[in-house]
Structure 1
Amino acid sequence: MKEFIMLVLFCHVASPVHHSLRNFFTGLSGVPNFPEFVVVAFVDDVESDYYDSNTQRMVPKQDWMEKITDDLPNYWDSQTQILQGSQQVFKVSVDTLKKRFNQTGGAHIVQWMSGCDWDDETGVTNGFHQFGYDGEDFIAFDLKTKTWIAPAPQALITKHKWDGLPGETERWKNYLTQECIDWLKRFVDCGRSTLLTTELPSVSLLQKTPSSPVTCHASGFYPNKIMLYWMRDGEELHEDVDHGEILHNHDGTFQKSVDLDLSSVKPGDWGRYSCVFQLSGVEEDIVTKLDPEVIKTNWGKTEIKRDGEKPSDLTIPIVAAVAVIALLLIAGIGFAVYKKKQAKSPPSSQNSSETEIQKLNPEA
């Protein structure tokens, strides 16, 4: 089966005053035991709401998202209705694209991602709007030129059609640069007490065997806007360094590791190396000197643990990685959709309406 899971969660930003809103819509065909249609939304990389074709209901994923009903009492009902309409269109879109690519059976996925960024200190904003099919870029909106970019030949039909609708491209520009930002500000205000929290991690040096790389492991930080790297003599290292992914912890914090290969380094030179952790918005870095005395190891320990024995620290990243994969499958990985609301429609953070959502179909 063609790989269809795309790790599009955690589209990181670089500053605590830099906020992001992401909506990911995914339509699936030929994938058993998985919803045919999934929507996941993220505010500052935190899942804010969720919808799938099994539940047929958009629901908040954070307590602070429920505050949106203070001003918009029918918000969740209106969003649910919009997404129910989107679900039908995505089903048709999968069939349309299968024909365009001359495909019949098998597993296929059509995706749409749209969102915006806003820096509340500088006022700088950015937006994007793009489609994917079977894990590859299909078509994307160029915000600067207000035209569509079609990297796939099969998308040229769609590009020519959509470029011929200047009114719609202007509306998308307005949405990405104005309306999306307004929604983002509203959501950030609702979740301010959570989204603007910072937590510093514990940093450990780990080594499995005397010949293994030394791992600098930071766990328990929040948010995930961080830098973790090795330095030698005060300069950042790029060679002999392997960066791991940022992973979720069960308590909502994050962890990350970076390995340093010391096979060509003389033991007497280890003191020239140090691991640096930087959290955006926090002035003081956490610097951990490469000292053999502080390295945690499992030398001489068996890999199989007895019942009740606590696993070594080296197992933490592995356990977390498995947990993240399970979380992604449950959450419904994919791209999401914003659609522009009609003047008479209820306000929509997904930017959708029953009429305009038909434009999801490349041949509509």
Structure 2
Amino acid sequence: VSLSGVHIIQEIMGCEQDDETKQTVAFKLYGYNGEDFIRFDIETEKWITSNPLAKTTKQEWDRKTASNGVWKNFLTTVCPDMMKMYFNDAKNQRHRLPDKLSHVTIPPSVSLLQMTPSSPVTCHATGFYPDRAMMFWRKDGVEIHEHVKKGEIFHNHDGTFQLSVNMNVSSVPAEDWMSYSCVFQFSGVEDNIITKLNKSVIRTNWGKNENRTDKSEKHSAVL
């Protein structure tokens, strides 16, 4: 290897896990001036050349059996453990608001959605915190269960949550629509967020309508 002029040495080391098989593959290799140079073989604890210029380096590094044993342990044990730890931490952080918000109640934005005129009406709440919440449809102030399908609570990327509840309105006469309402309710909180079943506020795929949530019982964020 020539030492005159400017040369670039690159090292790539790490491990990755196959999402399907859950098998971990580790690697440690070097590049020289933009070309593959030499790589470490975990099974044999030897170095494999990718360039004729790496022959001398291979001979020298193969003799470092103690160091090669350390690299094998790091790549097969330490690296996968670190990867799992960082992955779990990142997943937990993604689903958790900062500690200073742990005692805050954040109300949702509620929308009524309908794909087609014959589709169920979806009452969708998003951006709320914490997840101790429920949502349901009611008629004339009484909760109903017939023709209603409740969804699960899902995480948003910012640590808040979303929830939906559908109601089949195909058999509801037009004059009765205003007697139905969607209710969002935090556990342990008296105030509810109520959204009347009103065609003028339903967001659809065939028209542009703005949602206007009933503010009369909206719960504010409190510390």
Partner of 2:175: 268
Is the helix fraction higher in 1 or 2?
1
Percent identity of equivalent pairs? 54
Q: Please show how residues 117-128 of structure 1 align to structure 2 within 5 Å.
A: none
Corresponding residue number in structure 2 for 1:32: 21
Q: Deviations over 1:7-51 (max 9, x none)?
A: xxxxxxxxxxxxxxxxxxxxxxxx51456xxxxxxxxxxxxxxxx
Unaligned runs of 5+ in 1: 1-30, 36-51, 66-190, 302-311, 314-364
Aligned to 2:81, which of 22, 34, 56? 56
SS of equivalent residue, structure 1 residue 56:
helix
How far did residue 300 of structure 1 move?
A: 6.3
Aligned residue pairs total: 132
Answer yes or no: is 1:253 the counterpart of 2:160: yes
- Could you say which residue in structure 2 is the equivalent of 1:226? 133
Partner of 1:287: 194
Any runs of at least 4 consecutive aligned residues in structure 1 with deviations exceeding 6 A, and if so which?
A: none
Change (3 A) 1:299 1:61: same
**Structure 1 CA distance for aligned equivalents of residues 78 and 177 of structure 2:** 55
For the residues of structure 2 that align with 1:211 and 1:296, how far apart are their CA atoms? 14
3-state SS, counterpart of residue 238 of structure 1 = coil
Q: Which residue among 107, 114, 127 is the counterpart of 1:207?
A: 114
The DSSP-based 3-state class of the residue aligned with 2:135 is strand
Structure 2 residue runs without a partner (length 5+) = 1-19, 25-76, 211-223
Larger radius of gyration: 2
Cα distance in 2 for partners of 1:200, 1:34 equals: 42
5 Å-filtered alignment, 1:35-46, equals none
Say yes or no: does 1:238 pair with 2:145. Answer: yes
Whichever residue aligns with residue 216 of structure 1, its letter is C
Partner SS for 1:203: strand
Q: CA RMSD in A?
A: 3.2
In the TM superposition, what whole-angstrom CA distance separates every residue of 1:31-83 from its partner, at most 9, and x where no partner exists?
A: 51456xxxxxxxxxxxxxxxx98631445838xx9xxxxxxxxxxxxxxxxxx
Question: Normalising by the residue count of structure 2, what TM-score does the alignment of the two structures yield?
Answer: 0.52
Q: Which has the bigger relative contact order, CA under 8 A and spacing at least 6? A: 1
Q: TM-score, normalised by structure 1?
A: 0.33
Deviations 1:237-274 (A, max 9, x none): 11101111211112111111110001111111111100
- Report the AA paired with residue 32 of structure 1: T
